[in-house]
Structure 1
Amino acid sequence: MRLGVNLAVFGDRSLQDGLRECADHGLENVELPVHQGGSFALRQAREVHDFGLKLSALDNHVDSHNLLSKDAGLAQMSSTFFAETMEMASDLGVEIVTCFFGEDSDGHWFGWPDIDARKRCFERFASIWIPILDRAQELGLVLAHEPHPRQTAFDLESCLRLQEAVNHHSALGWNLDAGNLLISASDPVVFVEQMGARVVHMHAKDFLPAQDAAQRDWRFAIAGWGVTDWLALYAALEAKQLDPVWSLEHEDPTCGREDGVRKGLSFLRGVAPSANKMEVWW
């Protein structure tokens, strides 16, 4: 298992302090958020290697989400910055950009009366994103979309449909976030089994539904504090011979930044076997 941290959790301090914190945790990988208006500037991506760390991915969920915006000015500005993110990733030899693909329709939640809303959404998505995926392919990148309820692709069915919409483009990958999938009752294990090698990166984040069914509430949780079957997820990845970086994403409101990272990493390190796989001895 390759562990890392999404540095958004350390957005309250300098990048150097955040990287030092990750190095102190014995990590080798970090995922750096570089969207416009964020805590870290795109140019700072070059500093990661100074701390003996590797970039598992450049993260630009904000600008990529805006590419389907009906606000033409916002979409154009975000498109320009996302293109710069891809160029920087290529320059640094980082093969993955984690992102959102955006959403311009509520049709996946409210199909009536506009039953064609989803069809139009996927058509518009393809018209905007296929040229971007083409450029990513030229740069040797994979754009790893994170399924999320506020996105065009949010569960297994919609992710499969999105792949079809872009003709199964080779530059399309998935950033598997178990917590996000579980919101829509999608099983992360089944997602791995269906998507296979397209799962190129992970956000290690858990999900905890409320116990009161009438309330129908939930929260994101530190890995190991929710309902995700992490052992089954690890086994599914092993069965597919996949080794994505597990980038810890801490969005649990019940735990502070440092403590949440420490507890999450401690749990995840207990998921993977402590020794290399061996031949059968029984």
Structure 2
Amino acid sequence: MRTIKGPGIFLAQFAGDAAPFDSLDGIADWAAGLGYKGVQIPSWDARLFDLAAAADSKDYCDDIAGRLAERGLVITELSTHLQGQLVAVHPAYDAQFDAFAAPHVRGDPATRQRWAVEQLGLAARASRNLGLAAHATFSGALAWPYFYPWPQRPAGLVEDAFDELARRWRPILDRFEDNGVDLAFEIHPGEDLHDGVTFEMFLDRVGGHARANMLYDPSHFVLQQLDYLAFLDIYNARVKCFHVKDAEFTPSGRSGVYGGYQSWVDRPGRFRSLGDGQVDFKAIFSKMAQYDFPGWAVLEWECALKHPEQGAAEGAPFIADHIICVTERAFDDFAAGGADRALNARLMGI
């Protein structure tokens, strides 16, 4: 077994235009000062990272890694959540997702989609140049507007949507295979890959591709009322990234899973800072140790109530306290008698 790595922190929710959050050096100093050992970098944020340069230049990657190492940090993964979303966008969401793209491709869905695919290709090469094992992204969605079967869906609609999703992602997965990097889709409402069933539908259509894997975030399962511990029992071999994020679900007589179009603070299901929600992290970290998870425990901070800097400050010790340093020997080794085939035969009466 391996001890999970951490604590790490996803920088996307903290990057901004004010110091120390407006540069990689500044935000790295801040994260290291809180006790983090790794950073997950949003590849779209030019204030922190140049994805094209990382794809084309090993020297650029070595410089980034060196600057982080001076602060006791490493890169856990790169993220293309925004670009991955744009690989598959239903027209109902064109206007909302257009801001995820570079300015020069906005307003043109076909060009925007090609740009997103190019971005994933850059991310595969950049991850290889940085020596990373996994990459975090979203799948995008073509079927999500139809997740509730009313009005009745036409026969074959979902199947056709997943066929097209797989057609778009298969060459991207091949690019990640060429670069020796696992692609981890965050299993997330709003994405066509939002639970185990939908992941299986996709995986079947990409031929069980070895690079088609998952980012596990239990908070999204709490809001869906999905068993997040059983999920690890079923899919642990495909889990390559881990967002440590808390959530709570408290239904009422007025609102449930769908939330009544309310703001986050008023919804029955809402994200919380670590330790403030209902997620059983002791059980999750135990399963991660049991299943030999090879990656990082990375804080993704999202909370309807708490200030992000307080959430970040509390997150590093919370994760560190939950990491299980796995044992190197069985607890009953002291009583071991060694291998004795003759004794075994006597004990069985043979």
- TM-score relative to the length of structure 1: 0.91
* Distance in 1 of aligned mates of 2:44 and 2:128: 16
**2:292 paired with 1:241:** yes
* Distance in 1 of aligned mates of 2:225 and 2:5: 27
Question: Which runs of structure 2 are paired with 1:30-109 in the superposition (5 Å)?
Answer: 30-35=39-44, 40-42=49-51, 43=53, 46=61, 47-52=64-69, 53-69=73-89, 71-105=109-143, 106-109=145-148
Contact in 2 for aligned 1:32/1:58 (Cα 8 Å): yes
Deviation readout 1:133-157 (Å, 9 max, x if unpaired): 1111011011100011111110121
Contact in 1 for aligned 2:215/2:241 (Cα 8 Å): yes
Contact in 2 for aligned 1:145/1:172 (Cα 8 Å): yes
Identity of paired residues, percent? 21
Sort the Cα spacing of 1:213 and 1:83 in 2 relative to 1 into closer, same or farther, 3 A: farther
Deviation readout 1:54-85 (Å, 9 max, x if unpaired): 21110011111111136212101211222112
Q: Give the one of 294, 303, 310 matched to 1:252.
A: 303
Sort the Cα spacing of 1:280 and 1:182 in 2 relative to 1 into closer, same or farther, 3 A: same
Contact in 2 for aligned 1:181/1:187 (Cα 8 Å): yes
Q: How far apart are 1:277 and its partner, in Å? A: 5.4
Match of 2:293, as an amino acid? Answer: L
Match of 1:11, as an amino acid? Answer: A
Sort the Cα spacing of 1:113 and 1:57 in 2 relative to 1 into closer, same or farther, 3 A: same
Q: Please, which runs of 5 or more residues in structure 2 have no aligned partner?
A: 55-59, 92-108, 257-266, 335-350
Q: Give the one of 258, 264, 271 matched to 1:220.
A: 271
* Distance in 1 of aligned mates of 2:253 and 2:313: 31
Q: Please, which runs of 5 or more residues in structure 1 have no aligned partner?
A: none
Sort the Cα spacing of 1:227 and 1:196 in 2 relative to 1 into closer, same or farther, 3 A: same
SS at match of 1:247: strand
> 1:18 is matched with which residue?
27
* Distance in 1 of aligned mates of 2:323 and 2:249: 25
> 2:262 is matched with which residue?
none
Q: How far apart are 1:37 and its partner, in Å? A: 7.1
> 2:185 is matched with which residue?
145
SS at match of 2:112: helix
> 2:226 is matched with which residue?
186
* Distance in 2 of aligned mates of 1:242 and 1:77: 33
Contact in 2 for aligned 1:19/1:48 (Cα 8 Å): no
Match of 1:21, as an amino acid? Answer: W
* Distance in 2 of aligned mates of 1:253 and 1:40: 28
SS at match of 1:10: coil
Sort the Cα spacing of 1:133 and 1:74 in 2 relative to 1 into closer, same or farther, 3 A: same
Deviation readout 1:252-275 (Å, 9 max, x if unpaired): 132222210121222222223467
Match of 2:245, as an amino acid? Answer: K
SS at match of 1:59: strand
* Distance in 1 of aligned mates of 2:320 and 2:228: 19
**2:38 paired with 1:29:** yes
Higher relative contact order (CA 8 A, sep 6+): 2
> 2:99 is matched with which residue?
none
* Distance in 2 of aligned mates of 1:78 and 1:64: 7
Q: How far apart are 1:102 and its partner, in Å? A: 0.7
Deviation readout 1:69-104 (Å, 9 max, x if unpaired): 362121012112221122211122122110001101
SS at match of 2:13: helix
* Distance in 1 of aligned mates of 2:283 and 2:240: 18
> 1:133 is matched with which residue?
173
Contact in 1 for aligned 2:128/2:180 (Cα 8 Å): yes
**2:149 paired with 1:110:** yes
- TM-score relative to the length of structure 2: 0.74
Sort the Cα spacing of 1:146 and 1:213 in 2 relative to 1 into closer, same or farther, 3 A: farther
| Count of residues paired in the alignment | 282
